[in-house]
Amino acid sequence: MHNDIKEVLISEEEIQQKILELGAKLGEDYKDRNPLVICVLKGAFVFMSDLVKRIEVPLEIDFMAVSSYGASTKSSGVVKIIKDLDVSVEGRDVLIVEDIIDSGLTLSYLMEILRGRSAKSVRVVTLFDKPTGRTVELEADYTGFIIPDAFIVGYGLDYAEHYRNLPYIGILKPEIYSN
């Protein structure tokens, strides 16, 4: 285990098992719809990569980079588009892939944008959901794990850009972010 991690909250095996289940469900729901699967960079890149391998129907992928946290542990409330999509979503069944929903600001902003571009449908799959963090009302269509109010890292989730490469979800030692 990484030295900055206090406790492993969700193991690599548990994550991979959940992704198998999510992928199977998504494969049923998106059969014959050629969905455009959108990865919300950077956090969702690890989940995206594992998830699409488990969705056994034709699909296309694209990437969008947004950021609201920067190096802080709290959302700034301002969502910035850093990289936009390469393709049009008009008339497409769009599936947004997120690593975590906390305040809900990132996703509510993204969904507003994509609906404004005349997507046929917009749904969200998130691997983690921290409902205690919500400031705007928002629920994912597909959720992996409900997470307690702790500062978690790993599996794509960062603190100041570190720990994204951990294959599990860990709780960061408080002394790491308190100074």
Stretches 22-30, 40-48, 112-120, 142-150: which one binds ligand PRP (CB under 6 A)?
A: 40-48
Helix, strand, coil tally for the chain in percent (to 5):
25, 35, 40
C-beta closer to Mg ion: residue 17 or 165: 165
Q: How far is the CB of 60 from Mn ion (least distance, A)?
A: 25
Residue-by-residue DSSP string for 18-62: HHHHHHHHHHHHTTTS--EEEEEETTTHHHHHHHHTT--S--EEE
- Closest Cα partner for 112 from 136, 146, 142? 136
* Residue 84 falls in the annotated catalytic set: no
Tell me, residue by residue from 152 to 171, as one string, x for binding to Mn ion by CB under 5 A and - for no binding: ------x-------------
Stretches 11-19, 53-61, 94-102, 141-149: which one binds ligand PRP (CB under 6 A)?
A: 94-102
What are the residues facing 61 on neighbouring strands? 37
Is 106 near ligand PRP (CB under 6 A)?
yes
- Closest Cα partner for 93 from 144, 57, 47? 57
Is 129 near ligand PRP (CB under 6 A)?
no
Is 104 near Mg ion (CB under 5 A)?
no
Stretches 56-64, 66-74, 109-117, 137-145: which one binds Mn ion (CB under 5 A)?
A: 66-74
Of residues 36-55, which lie at the interface with Mg ion (CB under 5 A)?
43
Tokens found for residue 104: 């809900």
How many chain residues bind ligand PRP (CB under 6 A)?
17
Would you give the DSSP letter of residue 173? P
Residue-by-residue DSSP string for 1-17: --TTEEEEEE-HHHHHH
- Closest Cα partner for 87 from 54, 120, 64? 64
Active-site residue among 93, 99, 102, 129? Answer: 102
Give residues in contact with Mn ion (CB under 5 A): 43, 69, 158
Active-site residues, by number, are 102
**Can you give the binding site for ligand PRP, defined by CB under 6 A?**
40, 42-43, 67-69, 75, 98-106, 158
